[in-house]
Amino acid sequence: MIKINLTAEQRTEIEKMITKDIKKNSYPEIEKICNYLNDANFIKTAEFIDTEEKVIKICLLSSKTDLIDFQKKINKAYEEDSKWKCSCLIDRTREYIKDELENLYLKFSNRNAAYNILRIMKVNVCPYCNRQYTFTIRTKTSKKIGEKIVKTDLKSRPEFDHFFPKSDYPFLALSIYNLVPSCSLCNKGKSNTPSENFLYPYEESFGDKGIHFEIQNVIGNLLKQEEIIVKLQSAKKNQDLIKQYNDSFKIESLYEQHVDYISELLYKNYIFNDEAIESIYRSYEKLFKSPSELKQLILGNYKSDNFNQRPLSKLTNDILHQLNCK
Ligand SMILES: [Zn+2]
């Protein structure tokens, strides 16, 4: 729904960190997978992971197209390797690759490197729903209780959704731009649906597709006579995409639970009209560059570049756009 906007500096730092982690931790184990593939005569597949450099390259694939292209190539190699082999060997090898890489991902996700990368990404809100905070913290402390030293590892982080699921795309299990920091609800919601039905958060957003929230019954709600209805609107060509987001992430149903927030926003927008803002601005001229900056603060309206810093920022922006553009 919202884009993860990473700067060139953030990408460089993330890539440095993942490269270091692969060299130190993952590659020695990937070498074992490579040996297994060679022994089972899956030579073409093994060629993709037979050097540290190649593995790092896979883990740094940085666009949706590159991730898909790589997967196509390795699928083709696997198919060629499978020719003339018995189906039990083909299945067993596929299962082995899947289990081993899934295991490697699990180990990575528990290491400091994963936490550090998430801290650099600074995705503070789930990009799929834009509702849940997804802060990352990890603090290790030790406390003396009596004679004993008790160590605590306090940690919290978003889940990593594999945009291209690790069950179908095992070689992308550690590719950092295949990992989307997300809330657990969305991670579960997306799990069984093909990835092509979703927008790739490192590149695409609802805004790019002209998909926006629209609220119905505005006047009725201000008069306390009608319930708010929240709908996602867009051109006809995007209706399937909206349906997919509603089916997997329950967007409209969940957003309708935010009636108190929406109602408050309607009142704020009504009360803090241009005249009221001008008058407040005159008292705080030194604090704000313009009346519109003050209005943004009062209404909590974020620009699209910063949507991933606060929950409901897309909804807020769309509602204010709807109310003030009529
Ligand atoms: Zn979410």
DSSP-derived pairing of the beta strands 137-145 and 148-156: antiparallel
Say how many Å lie between the CA of residue 310 and the centre of ligand 1.
12
Say how many Å lie between the CA of residue 252 and the centre of ligand 1.
13
3-class DSSP assignment, residue 172:
helix
* pLDDT on residue 316: 96
Answer for the pair 230, 215: CB distance below 8 angstroms, yes or no.
yes
Say how many Å lie between the CA of residue 251 and the centre of ligand 1.
9
Say how many Å lie between the CA of residue 197 and the centre of ligand 1.
16
* pLDDT on residue 226: 82
Q: Which two tokens stand for residue 281?
A: 């601005």
Alpha-carbon distance values, 218 to 47, 251, 255, 263, 273 (Å): 61, 20, 15, 9, 16
* pLDDT on residue 154: 86
171 alpha-carbon distance from chain centroid: 19
Say how many Å lie between the CA of residue 162 and the centre of ligand 1.
14
Say how many Å lie between the CA of residue 23 and the centre of ligand 1.
32
Say how many Å lie between the CA of residue 280 and the centre of ligand 1.
36
Q: What is the pLDDT of residues 75-103, one digit of tens each?
A: 999 999 999 999 999 999 999 999 999 99
The closest of 98, 94, 101, 99 to 175, measured between CA atoms, is 101
Say how many Å lie between the CA of residue 179 and the centre of ligand 1.
14
Q: Which residues pair with 155 in a beta bridge?
A: 138
* pLDDT on residue 140: 83
* pLDDT on residue 196: 83
Domain ranges of the chain: 8-187, 206-324
pLDDT 10s digit of each residue in the chain, 326 long? 999 999 999 999 999 999 999 999 999 999 999 999 999 999 999 999 999 999 999 999 999 999 999 999 999 999 999 999 999 999 999 999 999 999 999 999 999 999 999 999 999 999 999 999 999 998 888 888 888 888 888 889 999 999 999 999 999 999 999 999 999 999 999 887 888 889 999 999 999 999 999 999 888 877 877 888 999 999 888 999 999 999 999 999 999 999 999 999 999 999 999 999 999 999 999 999 999 899 989 999 888 888 988 999 999 999 999 998 75
Say how many Å lie between the CA of residue 160 and the centre of ligand 1.
11
Say how many Å lie between the CA of residue 271 and the centre of ligand 1.
32
Say how many Å lie between the CA of residue 95 and the centre of ligand 1.
30
* pLDDT on residue 38: 96
C-alpha 3/C-alpha 307 separation (Å) is 8
Say how many Å lie between the CA of residue 161 and the centre of ligand 1.
10
